[in-house]
Structure 1
């Protein structure tokens, strides 16, 4: 007789690492800090290039584009959150 094998969901649950749940506020703060860090890094690279430090132009452009993409993503997320909030406020109870 063979032992009963656990179902697939039990196996998946066993292999999933335990996660620490962080609050929404903490997650939002970290995301905003990430956007700020990318903007500061872009500003620093641009300043170094202007001052004539040993910085490659393509590195400055890559950092600048990463900062731009990060900021645009944050703005789109904000727009969706505001839109969802407004939709909830329009609902009748």
Structure 2
């Protein structure tokens, strides 16, 4: 019986307006991208600081430095790969015939 009730409510759900407009979604997506790029930059800066501290002797644990370095490297590689996929998608859309 629950399935029947759920199916009866589908038309009512389809008539509802979306909670977010396209302009708001674009702004949210843009903000998300900015935040992600800032985080990648922060990882790079932290890795450089940890390396400098290791060289000067302020940090004795090489493990911490390597973790910071790998985190920065992985986040940068992910960002580059996402950028490459976006460019590939854009090029594919441009090749489509209208």
TMscore range, shorter length: 0.7 to 0.9
CA distance in 2 between partners of 1:23 and 1:54 (Å):
39
CA distance in 1 between partners of 2:59 and 2:83 (Å):
37
CA distance in 1 between partners of 2:63 and 2:34 (Å):
30
Report the secondary structure of 1:53's partner residue: coil
| Corresponding residue of 1:81 | 86
The alignment's TM-score, normalised by the length of structure 1, stands at 0.75
* Contact 2:50 2:59 survives alignment (8 Å): no
Q: State the number of aligned residues.
A: 81
Shift of 1:23: 1.7
The structure carrying a bigger helix percent of its residues is: 2
| Gaps in structure 1 of 5+ consecutive residues | 11-20
- Aligned pairs (5 A) from 1:24-39: 24-39=29-44
The alignment's TM-score, normalised by the length of structure 2, stands at 0.72
